[in-house]
Amino acid sequence: MRLIGRTKGSMNTKLHAICDSNGRPLDLFVTASQVSDYIGARELLSNLPEGDWLLGDRGYNADWFRDTRKDKGIRACFPGRKQCKTPVNYDKRCFKHCTRIEIMFGRLEDWTRVATRFDRCPKVFLSAIALAAVVIYWL
pLDDT at 77 over 80: no
* pLDDT tens-digit map of 20-65: 888 888 888 888 878 877 788 888 877 777 777 787 777 777 777 7
Global pTM reads: 0.79
Tell me how far apart the 2 most distant CA atoms of the chain are, in Å.
Answer: 44
Q: If you average pLDDT over residues 93-99, what whole number do you get?
A: 77
Name all domains of the chain by residue range, CATH numbers in brackets.
2-138 (3.30.420.10)
Round to whole Å and give the CA distance between 40 and 36. Answer: 8
